[in-house]
Amino acid sequence: MPELRNGGTLVTVSTPSSKQYIAHSTPAHASSQNSRKRCRSYEEVEIRDAPTKSKEKPSDRSYEEGEIGDAPTKSKKPSDAAKASAPILQDDRSPSPACQELMRSETQWFDDGNVEIQTKNLVFRLFYGRLIRQSLALKDLLVKKSDTMLRDEGGRPIIYIDGDGYELQALLDVLDSGLNYSYSRLPFPVLWSIFPPAWSLRFPSVQAFARQSLKEMWPSSLDLIGSEPIMNAAGTVYLARTYGINGVLKRALYELLRSTSFTQPDSNILLPAAEIFLLARAREHVQRQWIPVLHKFHRFKCSHPRSGLLPSASSEDDLLTLEMEDTQRCLLDPLFVAHDMILKKSHVSQVCSDCAAKKEDILRKARATLWDDLDELFDVSPRVPVHD
């Protein structure tokens, strides 16, 4: 659990993500009050898995326990589904083991600011009034401990945050650009970056915005599943498991289910074994459910045969070929393919209108049943999030 540190006094704050941000009113590695150099220490904080700046992608690493060092997980049970340890995301700005000169934030340094924040790789100069309005954790520190905080040569209080400065910068930039994002969707790399500081430093408005932005990326309606894939599914699964955003979890996992080898071409996040287990179980369920469904659909006998609708030998061959093609497609992506089969109407050309409706109903019921089954197969029932 992160702490707000003031000298030897610890003030417990709410649990953030597994990418811990620990705010101090005294420097963890500075030798003097005015020092601008800090050393990197992974023994004191769990920050090695911090995401990159907003323009970067996650690295080719899994967030499964055992592959990411000491990041905490929620559970090792498959029923708890996501071993929600944070993925390691590369950061080419990560400081070397030796002390390094801190860089000023390009967008969040104001000469007339009256509070200084130092992170492991960036230093900020911000405004007291803004911070206490927007961050509950920083408000607690600035209001309750201001008399004993270290200050710079200009008398500004200094806060030391053991977290990735580029994530905090992304969060503050989003706050500054709020109106822009009311007209355009927030890019996923930016969204990814703002989650950890929003929870660790307790920015309630950013938390609500981040949740809503993720939900808008992943509509939960069965009718909105189309042929075009939605990218960043693996990253979404991690965020959903970690921050308890269950509304996007089923749709994101289905995107992985219909992807080759449960991966997407633009993703650098490797799923943990627990998620692979759930996806493999779901694919097995699809095979058991949909092979008989498709056979029933294609072999449906019209109860009112009419002249010109009776199948010929050639039409039987065509039907067999069509059935094989549909089976191959449906076993990978049943929810979209079945909907596509209903819309095209080509599969009901050999039956009367009444029987055509009955054939389509076979697919509709199978789609609805599978969509409901995925709640259990993907373990998306409401639960206490790993980090609330």
What is the rounded average pLDDT for all residues in the chain? Answer: 75
Whole-number pLDDT of residue 230: 95
CA dihedral 345, 351, 353, 357 (to 10 degrees): -60
Provide the residue type at 127 as one letter: F
Helix H, strand E, coil C: the string for the chain is: CCEEEECCEEEECCCCCCCCCCEECCCCCCCCCCCCEECCCCCCCCCCCCCCCCCCCCCCEECCCCCCCCCCCCCCCHHHCCCCCCCCCCCCCCCCCCCEECEEEEEEECCCCCEEEECCCEEEEECHHHHHHHCHHHHHHHHHCHHHCCECCCCCEEEEECCCHHHHHHHHHHHHCCCHHHCCCCCHHHHHHHHHHHHHCCCHHHHHHHHHHHHHHCCCCHHHCCCCCCCCHHHHHHHHHHHCCHHHHHHHHHHHHCCHHHCCCCCCEECCHHHHHHHHHHHHHHHHHHHHHHHHHHCCCCCCCCCCCCCCHHHHHHHHHHHHHHHHHHHHCHHHHHHHHHHHCHHHCCCCHHHHHHHHHHHHHHHHHHHHHHHHHCCCCCCCCCCC
Compute the average pLDDT of residues 52-80. 36
* C-beta separation of 90 from 299 below 8 A: no
Lowest mean per-residue pLDDT among 39-48, 74-83, 150-159, 315-324: 39-48
Average pLDDT of the segment spanning 308-334: 75
Over 60: is that where the pLDDT of 72 sits?
A: no
Q: Which helix (H) or strand (E) holds 315?
A: helix 313-332
Mean pLDDT within 326-345: 90
**Residue 305 pLDDT class (50, 70, 90 cuts):** low
**% of the chain beyond a pLDDT of 90:** 49
- Per-residue confidence band for 45, with pLDDT thresholds at 50, 70 and 90: very low
* 17 pLDDT more than 60: no
Per-residue pLDDT at 31 exceeds 90:
no
**Six token digits for residue 40:** 């990197």
**Mean pLDDT for the stretch of residues 316-331:** 82
Task: Write down the pLDDT at residue 318.
Answer: 73
Task: Determine the pLDDT at residue 303.
Answer: 77
Hey, what amino acid is at 223? D
pLDDT (mean) for 214-218: 95
**pLDDT for the residue numbered 143:** 92
8 Å CB contact between 117 and 104: no
Instruction: Give the confidence band of 79 by pLDDT, cuts at 50, 70, 90.
Output: very low
Can you give the residue ranges of every domain in the chain? 3-56+91-182, 275-375
**Would you place residue 102 in the very low, low, confident or very high pLDDT band (cuts 50, 70, 90)?**
confident
From 252-266, 269-283, 338-352, the region with the lowest mean pLDDT: 338-352
Q: How confident is the model at residue 81 (pLDDT cuts 50, 70, 90)?
A: very low
Helix (H, G, I), strand (E, B) or coil at 54: coil
pLDDT for residue 247: 92
pLDDT at 63: 44
162-192 pLDDT, tens digit per residue, is 889 999 999 999 999 877 777 788 899 999 9
Do 249 and 377 touch, CB atoms closer than 8 A? no
Report pLDDT for 351: 79
Stretch among 36-50, 281-295, 312-326, 333-347 having the lowest mean pLDDT: 36-50
